[in-house]
Amino acid sequence: MRALVQRVTHAAVAVDGHEVARIGPGLLILLGVARTDDEATCDWVADKVARLRLFDDADGRMDEPVTAAGRQVLCVSQFTLYGDVRRGTRPSWSAAAPGAHAEPLYDRFCARLGAHKGVFGADMAVTSTNDGPVTVLVERDAE
């Protein structure tokens, strides 16, 4: 599982021109699910993201998690995070989980973080304003 985590001042996602989710200050997470991912992997990544200290404390040090001070999370499914371009210029998606495997793990991840969600499998328009910018990649292979 790969979670590309971006600290944002705000973010939104729309499907067919209709906004389906919006957050203020917090995290925008692009989540990729691999064929080998399972519930334990999902829980580990979600818990790691929840504990990441990416926000400034009263002293201006990056030492607070998203759970502090009412920040929000918006999570968007992103199978393209598993695009393999090591050979050629057309990405291979063979490592990405098929929808029937990925969607329950995406839902579990979002529930664990109390995240607002995009629409799984939809063609989405994602807008955000990065804060910092601060962007980290959290990943773990299924055990």
Output phi, psi for 50, to 5 deg: -60, -30
Neighbours of 79 (CB within 10 A): 20
**Which residue, among 79, 72, 50, 82, has the nearest Cα to 128 in the 3D structure?**
72
Is position 78 annotated as part of the catalytic site? yes
Q: Which of 9, 80, 127, 129 is catalytic?
A: 80
Q: Tell me the two tokens of residue 59.
A: 């002293």
Catalytic annotation, pick one of 6, 41, 72, 78 = 78
Q: Is 80 a catalytic residue?
A: yes
Whether 127 is catalytic is no
| Residue tagged active-site, from 6, 41, 79, 109 | 79
Collapsed DSSP state (helix, strand, coil) of residue 66: coil
Which amino acids are annotated catalytic? Answer: 78-80
